[in-house]
Amino acid sequence: MSYRSFLGVTVHFIEDRKITSVAIDVQELSERHTSDYISTQLPEILNRWKIDFEKVEAVVTDGGTNMLKAISDSFGKIKHVPCFAHLVILVVEHSLDNEETKPLLNKVQSIVKWAKNSVIVSDELRKRQLNKGIASGNLKKLTLDISTRWNSVFYMLERPLEYITREASEEEYITISKVIPMLACPSNQLDMINLDLPLANNKVKI
């Protein structure tokens, strides 16, 4: 099944001295997401709601070149404001793009791909969670990062640690047979990372 794409528009305004946000449209995109196509959709949405272009003070989007040009063509370049959350994730992605981090990320990606492509491994993960009393609707799967999804790297790395935390918390007295592998695996990987920043080295030591 192919993915479907949508264009969402939310307006933010001040009413009675209160900041108000209202989602006015979620429209399926039926063509390629070119700047020309998007720049025709936005005016249609505003006209449908009788919103005067001159009253639009700013338009916030991600940093995609198609969005930048669409906003520039429709409202003028000066009215475009980059999304703060998107800027933050770009900083994170840039910080992860180094020789120390890449091998670890690649290793995690390989493990996740192997597990997701193996029926045996997937069934075993499912059985172990069911044996722990977890409802079928709450079962967790390993997640693979997606370049266009902002926090997917974090979620990919978080999922194994989430399991470790839950394993350590659900028993009143956790046995050493569980503690050793839960500590040794991440510790061994951290020991392999060579970081130059003192603050980062302190984090690894902790």
Q: What share of the chain is helix, strand, coil (3-state, %, to 5)?
A: 55, 15, 30
Quickly count: other Cβ atoms within 10 Å of residue 142's Cβ.
Answer: 19
Minimum mean pLDDT range among 23-27, 86-90, 194-198: 194-198
pLDDT of amino acid 26: 94
d(CA 157, CA 143): 9
**Alpha carbon of residue 109 to chain centroid:** 15
Per-residue pLDDT tens over the stretch 138-176: 888 877 777 656 567 777 776 766 665 555 555 544 555
121 to 127, 129, 162: CA distances (angstroms): 10, 12, 18
Interacting residues of 122 by C-beta distance below 8 A, sequence separation 6+: 115, 116, 141
Distance in angstroms between the alpha carbons of the first and the last residue of the chain: 45
Minimum mean pLDDT range among 107-111, 135-139, 188-192: 188-192
Looking at per-residue pLDDT, the higher value among 185 and 65 belongs to 65
| pTM recorded for the entire structure | 0.53
**Strand 59-61 versus strand 80-82 pairing type:** parallel
